Structure formats: structure tokens, C-alpha cells
Structure 1
Amino acid sequence: MINVEEMQKYGKEQFDSVVASAATMQTSAQAIASAVSDYTKKSYEDGNAFVTRLSGVRSLDKAIEAQTEYAKSSYEAFVAESQKISELYADLAKQASKPFEGFIAKMTPAR
């Protein structure tokens, strides 16, 4: 049986754990925002470069070639950045659940 003092102690430990992990979670959220921002900026710049290149093309074959290269490079960049950002989200989820792991282990009765 768990008494009141032990519950207060567990509560304080849990609160301290949550406060300590908040900084880590904030850092993870900032990393996600930065990665999304960087990808958006690069994607915009690549799109502008493509339009500039396409405006200088004189034949249909060259236009199709430019569009194909742009589509391929855009897709590859999207997949790479999506994987990077999904890993950042996975790390954030791990950090968010970390404070509760110890609390649940302590509150679960031994069998």
C-alpha cells in the first residue's frame, strides 16, 4: 500500500522530471521548425531557379528535360527532408513520454 508521503514524493519526482524534459522538448520543437523552414526556403529557391531556367529554353525537348530534372530532384529532396523531419518528430515523441515512464513503473504494483 502506498501512503501519502510516498505519493507526494512520487509527485515531486514526476514534476521535476517533467520540468527537466521540457527544455529538451523545446529544443526538439525548435529543430523541427528550423528543418521545415530550411526545406521551405530551399524548395522555393529551387522552384525559382527552375522557372528561370525554363524561361530560357528554346525547344520543347529541352523544356521536358528541364522539367524532368526538376521533378526528380524535387522528389528526392522531399523524401530526404521528410525522413529527417519524421526522425525529429519521433525523437520529440520519445522525449514527451520519457517523464511518464519512471512514474508508471513506480506506481505499478509488483506482481
Structure 2
Amino acid sequence: MINNLQDIQKISQTNVDTFIKIFGDWNKGWQAIAAEMTDYSKRAFEDGTATFEKLASAKSVEQAVEIQTNFAKRAYDDYLHQVTKIGGMYSSLAKDAYKPVEKAFQNGR
């Protein structure tokens, strides 16, 4: 009886420790994604503000069109880069979250 109770306590403690680790890793992943999105938003805002200032000082319509065209290209390229990066972070988060489950199934067999 005592051995069974000790085994149950050991398994319970292992499960709690695993859950705490999973939750901590999950939380860190979401924090990294949030920080990345904040940085991207800040960069995009600063680039938009700088472009507006350039547009305000444009001497001709052609110069204004060139400034706007360059801004649109940069914004599009930055957006695609950011979407790819965030997608990779979400994918890593999902894979990392699944690892303990996969390990539990392997240990259970």
C-alpha cells in the first residue's frame, strides 16, 4: 500500500512539474510574439511618420509619388517579412507545446 501511495504521489508531482514547465514555456512564447508585434508596430509607425514628413516637404508631384511609392514598397516588404517571422514563432510555439504531450504518449507505451 505504501509503495502504491508513493508511486501515485511521485506521478502527481511529475505531472504538476510538467504542467508548470509547459505553462512557463507557453507564456514565454506568447510574450516573445507580443514583443515582436510591438516592435513591428513601432517601426511601422516611425516609418509612416518619417514618410509623411518627407511628403510634406516634397517640391513636386513626381517627388511625392516617388516618396509614396518607396514607402509602399518598404511597407509591403516589411509586412511580408513580419508575417513570415510571426508565423514561424506561432509554429514553434505549437511544436513546443506538443512536445510534452508526445513525450507522455511515448512514455505511456
Which bin holds the TM-score, normalised by the shorter protein? Answer: 0.7 to 0.9
Deviations 1:46-99 (A, max 9, x none): 111111100111211111111110000111111111111111111111122122
- Which residue pairs with 2:3 in the alignment? none
Gaps of 5+ in 1: none
State the one-letter code of the partner of 1:87.
G
Give the aligned partner of residue 73 of structure 2.
72
What TM-score, normalized by structure 2, do the two folds share? 0.81
Q: Which structure's residues are more often helix, by fraction? A: 2
Number of aligned residue pairs: 106
Matches of 1:99 and 1:14, distance apart in 2: 10
Query: What pairs with 1:80-99 in structure 2 (closer than 5 Å)?
Result: 80-99=81-100
Does the alignment pair 1:23 with 2:24?
yes
| Higher relative contact order (CA closer than 8 Å, sequence separation 6+) | 1
Please show how residues 6-85 of structure 1 align to structure 2 within 5 Å: 12-85=13-86
TM superposition shift of 1:41? 0.5
Structure 2: distance between partners of 1:97 and 1:7: 24
Name the CA distance, whole Å, in 2 between partners of 1:101 and 1:12: 19
Give the whole-Å Cα distance in 2 for the aligned partners of 1:10 and 1:103.
Answer: 12
Q: How many angstroms does 1:8 deviate by?
A: 7.3
Q: Does the CA-based 8 Å contact 1:14-1:100 persist in structure 2?
A: no
1:25-62: per-residue Cα shift (whole Å, max 9, x none)?
A: 21111110000000001100111111110011121111
